[in-house]
Structure 1
Amino acid sequence: MRQLRYFVEIVEAGSFSLAAERLFVAQSALSRQVKELEASVQVQLLTRGARRFELTPAGKTFYDGAKRLLFNLNETLVQTRHANRDEQGVIRLLHSSSVPLVNPLMQRIQTYLANNNGASLEISQMSSEHQGEDLEEGRSDIGLVRLPVHIRFPGVQVEELYTEQLMLAVPLLHPLSERTEIAVVELREELFVSLPHAERGGLSYRVADLCMRNGFFPRAARATSRKTTLLNLVEAGLGIALVPASMRAVAPAGVRFVALSGMDSLTAVALLYRRGASQLVKGFAAALLS
Structure 2
Amino acid sequence: MISTRQLHYFVEIAESGSFSAAAERLFIAQSALSRQIKELESQLDTQLFERTARQPRLTAAGLAFLPRARTLLVDLEKAQRLARDVGHGVQGSLRLNHSSTVPLTGQLLSRLSGYLHDHPGVAMEIAQQSSEAQLVELADDRLDVGLLRLPVLRQHEGLNVVPLFEESLLLAVAGDHPLAGETRVGLAQLRDERFISIPHRQRGGLSYLSAELCMAAGFFPNAARVVSRKTTQLQLIQAGFGVALLPQCMQEIAPPSLRFVALTDEGCSSTVAIAYRRDAGPLVQQFIAHMCGPSQ
Structure 2 residue aligned with 1:121, among 109, 124, 127? 124
* Partner SS state of residue 208, structure 1: helix
Paired with 1:86 and 1:287, the residues of 2 have a C-alpha distance of 17
**Which residue is equivalent to 2:144?**
141
Structure 2 residue aligned with 1:172, among 159, 172, 175? 175
Q: 1:190 to 1:283 in 2, by over 3 A?
A: same
Paired with 1:189 and 1:196, the residues of 2 have a C-alpha distance of 17
AA at the equivalent of 2:256: A
**Which residue is equivalent to 1:216?**
219
Paired with 1:83 and 1:127, the residues of 2 have a C-alpha distance of 34
Paired with 2:101 and 2:81, the residues of 1 have a C-alpha distance of 32
Deviation at 1:82, TM superposition (A): 9.8
Deviations along 1:179-214, one digit per CA (max 9) or x if unpaired, are 011111111110000000112100000000000010
AA at the equivalent of 2:165: Y
Paired with 1:106 and 1:191, the residues of 2 have a C-alpha distance of 32
Q: 1:176 to 1:86 in 2, by over 3 A?
A: same
AA at the equivalent of 2:217: N
Q: 1:82 to 1:231 in 2, by over 3 A?
A: farther
* Partner SS state of residue 95, structure 2: strand
Structure 2 residue aligned with 1:240, among 243, 262, 267? 243
Q: 1:248 to 1:176 in 2, by over 3 A?
A: same
* Partner SS state of residue 105, structure 2: coil
% same residue: 47
Confirm or deny that 1:131 pairs with 2:131: no
Paired with 2:80 and 2:250, the residues of 1 have a C-alpha distance of 38
Structure 2 residue aligned with 1:258, among 254, 258, 261? 261
Is contact 1:192-1:220 (8 Å) kept? yes
AA at the equivalent of 2:240: G
**Which residue is equivalent to 2:195?**
192
Deviations along 1:233-269, one digit per CA (max 9) or x if unpaired, are 0000000010001001111222111111132101001
* Partner SS state of residue 179, structure 2: helix
* Partner SS state of residue 209, structure 2: helix
**Which residue is equivalent to 1:155?**
158
AA at the equivalent of 2:95: R
Deviation at 1:105, TM superposition (A): 0.7
Structure 1's unaligned 5+ residue stretches are 1-79
Paired with 1:261 and 1:83, the residues of 2 have a C-alpha distance of 54
Deviation at 1:155, TM superposition (A): 1.7
Q: 1:202 to 1:189 in 2, by over 3 A?
A: same
AA at the equivalent of 1:277: A
Aligned counterparts, 1:53-68, within 5 A: none
Q: 4+ residue runs of structure 1 moved beyond 2 angstroms?
A: 80-87
Structure of larger gyration radius = 2
Is contact 1:136-1:156 (8 Å) kept? yes
Q: TM-score, normalised by structure 2?
A: 0.69
* Partner SS state of residue 162, structure 1: strand
Is contact 1:150-1:199 (8 Å) kept? yes
Is contact 1:160-1:271 (8 Å) kept? yes
Is contact 1:83-1:89 (8 Å) kept? no
* Partner SS state of residue 114, structure 1: helix
Deviation at 1:288, TM superposition (A): 0.9
Paired with 1:120 and 1:284, the residues of 2 have a C-alpha distance of 12
Is contact 1:157-1:272 (8 Å) kept? yes
Is contact 1:82-1:89 (8 Å) kept? no
Aligned counterparts, 1:54-133, within 5 A: 83-84=82-83, 86=85, 88-133=91-136
Q: 1:106 to 1:82 in 2, by over 3 A?
A: farther
Q: For the aligned residues, what is the CA RMSD? A: 1.7
Structure 2's unaligned 5+ residue stretches are 1-78
Confirm or deny that 1:182 pairs with 2:185: yes
Is contact 1:193-1:240 (8 Å) kept? yes
* Partner SS state of residue 227, structure 2: coil
Structure 2 residue aligned with 1:272, among 272, 275, 284? 275
Paired with 2:83 and 2:174, the residues of 1 have a C-alpha distance of 54
Deviation at 1:287, TM superposition (A): 0.9
